[in-house]
Chains A and B, each alone.
Chain A
Amino acid sequence: MQAAQRLDDNPCRPRHFKPPPPCAPVVADERANQVIETCRTRLVAAAALFAVVFLVVVLRLAEIVLVNGGGAESHIGRLPPAAPPPPARADIVDRNGTLLATMLPKPSLFVNSKALLAAGQNPDEAAHQLASVLADKSPAEIRARLVSGKSFAYLQRSLTPRQQYEINRLGIPGLDFTPEERRFYPYGDLAAHVVGYCGIDNEGLAGVERGLDAGVRGQREPLELSLDARVQFILREELQKVVKDFTAKGAAGIIMDVRTGEIIAMVSLPDFDPNRPGDTEGAPSAADPKERLFNKITLGDYEMGSAFKIFNTAMALDAGTATMAKNYDAIHDIQIGRFTISDYHGKHRMLSVPEVFMYSSNLGSARMAMEAGAERQRAFLGRLGLLKPVPIEFDELSRPHYPAQWREVNVITIAYGHGIAVSPLHVAAGVSAVVNGGILHPPTLHKLPPGAHPPGERVISEKTSEQMRKLMRLVVEFGTAKLAAAPGYVVGGKTGTAEKNQGGHYQEKKLLSDFVGVFPMHDPRYLVLTLVDEPHGNKQSFGFATAGWTVAPATSRIVQRIAPILGVAPVDEASPAVTQALAIESLQGKRIETY
C-alpha cells in the first residue's frame, strides 16, 4: 500500500498511466520495495554530494567575480619577477650617490668542441676570428681548445659587453656564454683602500668590502659611505704631488667631519687598482704589491712626533696642572738615563704654554707631562682611545704600540710623540674630539643623515677644547705651520716630524712628517690629517723635509680646494667675530715672536 502510494507520487510517471487498483500486499513486493528504498537513499546521498560540490563552485565563482578577484595576486606570483634578481653584492656609493663599486655582467665564453666540429666549422678560421676579439689570446691557443673534442672548455673568463656582442656577431656555432657577475670599481684606484676589493668568487677581501661584507652580500639596496669622491680625488692628487715633489716613499691623508666622526676622504699612497688588486703593471717600480695594498691610515702605526703635543697640552690644561699663562723652562736640556732631551727649534728661555705649543718645544712639553704625571697621561690617552684599536668598519686595524710600564722616560717622550705608535686614524679621531668641544665620536664610514648627532663621549671640558682651538690657530698664524694658512678658511693645526724608528734606532735621515689641520678654527668643521713617509728636501723647501715645509703647504691647497665643495664659506680672518673667538688673553699686548 505504501509502495503503491509512493509510486503514485513519481512525477516522471506519464499521466495516462493509471495506478493499479489497490490490492492486498504480496510478499514478493515487500522485497522489491526494500531494494527501491536503498536505491533511493543512495540517490539522495549522491545528489547531496553534488549539490555541495556545485555550491562550492558557485561560491568560489561568486567570490572571484564579486568579491576580490579571487587572489589574482598569487597567480601573478608565478610570472617572472618585475625586477632583476638581486646582485651577488650590492653597490657601494659615496655620500652623493656616485658609484664606487658595482656588479657587472661578465659572461664567460666556452666552446662545445663536439658541436663546433659537427657543424662543419673550420677551426682555423674560427680561431683567427676569435683572436681578433679576444686580444690577449693567440690564434693557436684558441684553436687548440676549439678542436679539443671536449663538450666544455673555457675560452675566456670575464668578457666585456663589447666582446660578447662581437662574438655573437661572428656567429660561430658551438660557442656559448655562462652568465657570471664581476665586481667593478669605476673609479679605479681613487678610493682603493677604503672600498677594498673582492676575490674571484665575489667575497670581500679588504676595506669596506670585507669589513661590511654582511651589509653588501646579497643585498639590493646600495651601501652609502660617508666618503665624498670629489674630496677624495683632491686629497689624493695633492698627496701625489707631495710624494713627487719630495721624492717620498709614500703618503697618507684623512679628512674627517669633526662633529660626527664621518670620514670624508681617506688616501694611502702608493695605492692599487681594486679591479686588479694583485697587478703591479704600470706602477712605480719601487712599490711592491704588499706595500700598495697596505692601508697606512688604519694599519700603519707611526710615532707621530710633535702632533702629539696637542694631546699633551690638552691633558695638562684639562687636568689643571697647567694654565695658559704658566711658564716652563726651555733653557736647560733634560738628562734622563743615557738620553738627553733638547729642542729642535731652541728658544732657550722660559716659554709660556702657548709659546711651548707654537714653537713646538720638546722641553716645555716634557716638563708639562712630568708635572701631570704618568698616571694622568696614561688615563688621558686611554680616554681618547689611543691605546686600543679604533672602532671603525674595517677588519684591518692596527693595535697601538705603547710601553707596558709607563716610566718617567716614557712620560717625557710620549709628551712629544715618541715611544708611542698609533695609526693616523687614532690621531684624527682624538684631535677631532679635542677641537669639537670635547666629545669623542668613533670614526665611521657610514653616511649619517644630515644634521645627525651621533653618540659621543666627553673626554675634555668645553673650556679646554676652546683653549686648544686657540693654540692650534696660533701655530698656523705665527708658529711652525705658517705655510698651512688658507686665506679665508682660518686653518689651525699642529705639525709633527718624527725620525723613523727602525730596529730600535732612530734614523736621522728617515723622517715621517705629518700635519693635523682643522678648519675653520673658530667653528671647527673638518679635520685634514696628512703625513708623508721619508720625504727629501728640495729647492723650494730650502732642503727641509719637515712637516712645515712638506705637508703644511699641501694642507693649505687641500683646504682651499675642498672648502667650497664641503660648503664652508670663506670668512674675513681679520673680522672681530673670528679674532675674538681665537684671542688668547695671556698673550694680549705681548709681541709675538714669529717662529
Chain B
Amino acid sequence: MIRFASLLWLALVAVTGFATFKVKYAVQDIEEELNKVRRQTIAEQQEIHLLRAEWTALTQPERLADLNRHFLSLAAVAPKQLQRKIDEIPLRPVPEPEPVIAAAPAPEPATAAARTEVQPVAPPATSVAAATPVAAAPSASADIVVGAAATVGAATPPSGMPKIQLIATAEAAPLPAVPAKATPAKPETRLQSAKGKSAQQPRSLDRLIDAIAEGR
C-alpha cells in the first residue's frame, strides 16, 4: 500500500516538474514574441509619424494651389454656387435658342448631352434644328454624322417631338440619320475636332461650371 502511495507521489512530482518546465519555456517564447511585436509596433509608429509629417509637407496649401494651377485649373467656389437647401436651387430657365452652346467652339459631347436632356420643356422644331450639331454629338459612337441644320430638318421627326427622343433615336438606330451621310464632309471634321477637344476634360469642366454659374 505504501509502495503504491510512494509511486503515486513520485509520478506526481515528475509530472509537475515536467509541466513546470513546459510552462516556463512556453512563457519565454511568448515573451520573446511580445518583445518582437512591441519593437515592431514602435518602429511602425515611428514610421507612421514620419509619413504623416511627409504627407503634411506634401499637402502644403501652397503646393496644392500650384498643382491645381498646373493640372486642374479649378476655380474658387463663387457664393452663387453655394445653396443651403435643395429647394433653394432655382430651376434652370428655358434658354433662348441656345446661344451659349452654339457659341462654344466644341463642348465635350457628354456634357452637351447632359445639357439637352436636362431641358424641362421641349422647344419647337426650329430651335431643335439650330441646336442639333450638339445634340447629335453623342451618337458619335455609331459613326453617324448629323450635320447642317437643313439636313437634320429632314431627319428630324415632326415638330413638337421632344428633343430627348431625338437623341434616343439617334443613339438607338443609325437608320434615320443615314440620309445625312449624303451631306458634305465638313460637319464630320467638326465632329472629330470635338472628339479631340474632349481630351482636355478639366478645361471644359471649368467652363461648364462657369456656364452654370452664369445661368443662375
Residues of A near any B CB (own CB < 8 A): 76, 79-84, 98-99, 102, 104-105, 161, 184, 186-188, 190, 229-230, 233, 237, 486-489, 560-561, 563-564, 569-570
Contact = CB atoms under 8 A, between A and B. Distances in A.
A564 B61 CA distance: 16
B50 A81 contact: no
Contacts of A84: 42, 45-46
Interface string B73-95: 00011111010100000000000
Given A486-B79, A560-B79, A187 B45 contact: no
A98 B56 contact: yes
A564 B50 CA distance: 31
B42 A79 contact: no
B156 to A, nearest CB: 42
Decide if the interface of chain B is mainly helix, strand, loop or mixed: helix
Contacts of B49: 102
28 contacts: A76-B34, A79-B31, A79-B34, A79-B35, A79-B38, A83-B41, A84-B45, A99-B52, A102-B49, A102-B52, A105-B50, A161-B50, A186-B53, A186-B57, A187-B57, A188-B60, A190-B60, A190-B61, A233-B61, A233-B62, A237-B62, A486-B79, A488-B79, A489-B79, A560-B76, A560-B78, A560-B79, A570-B79
Nearest to B41: A82
Nearest to B77: A564
B165 to A, nearest CB: 38
A237 B65 CA distance: 11
A361 to B, nearest CB: 32
Interface string B161-198: 00000000000000000000000000000000000000
Contacts of B76: 560-561
Contacts of B41: 82-83
Contacts of A233: 61-62, 65
A184 B41 CA distance: 23
A290 to B, nearest CB: 25
B39 interface: yes
Contacts, number: 70
Nearest to B84: A569
A486 B82 CA distance: 14
Given A233-B61, A569-B82, A82 B38 contact: yes
Contacts of B50: 104-105, 161
B61 A230 contact: yes
B61 to A, nearest CB: 4
Contact of B46 (A105, A487, A560): A105
A190 B38 contact: no
A488 B77 CA distance: 13
A267 to B, nearest CB: 13
B19 to A, nearest CB: 11
A229 B60 CA distance: 9
Nearest to A557: B76
Nearest to A229: B61
8 residue pairs, one from A and one from B, having the closest CB atoms: A488-B79, A233-B61, A186-B56, A570-B79, A186-B57, A99-B56, A84-B42, A569-B84
B56 A187 contact: yes
A186 B62 CA distance: 12
Contacts of A99: 52-53, 56
Given A79-B31, A488-B82, A561-B76, 13 more contacts: A79-B38, A82-B38, A82-B42, A83-B41, A84-B46, A104-B53, A161-B50, A184-B53, A186-B53, A188-B60, A190-B62, A489-B79, A563-B79
Contacts of B80: 488
A102 B48 CA distance: 13
Contacts of A488: 79-80, 82
B82 A570 contact: yes
Nearest to B64: A233
A73 B38 CA distance: 16
Contacts of A186: 53-54, 56-57, 60
- Could you say which of B31, B56, B60, B82 has the most chain A C-beta atoms within 10 Å of its C-beta? B56
A269 B180 CA distance: 65
B33 to A, nearest CB: 11
B46 A80 contact: no
A488 B213 CA distance: 15
A489 B75 CA distance: 19
Given A79-B31, A488-B79, A187 B60 contact: yes
A95 to B, nearest CB: 15
A189 B52 CA distance: 18
B76 to A, nearest CB: 6
Contacts of B82: 488, 564, 569-570
Nearest to A93: B56
Nearest to A564: B77
Contacts of A188: 60
A425 B52 CA distance: 33
A184 B65 CA distance: 22
Interface in B6-52: 31, 34-35, 38-39, 41-42, 45-46, 49-50, 52
A441 to B, nearest CB: 28
A186 B56 CA distance: 6
A230 B39 CA distance: 37
B21 to A, nearest CB: 16
Most buried by B among A161, A186, A233, A564: A186
A220 to B, nearest CB: 12
Interface in B85-107: none
Nearest to A99: B56
A80 B38 contact: yes
Contacts of A230: 61
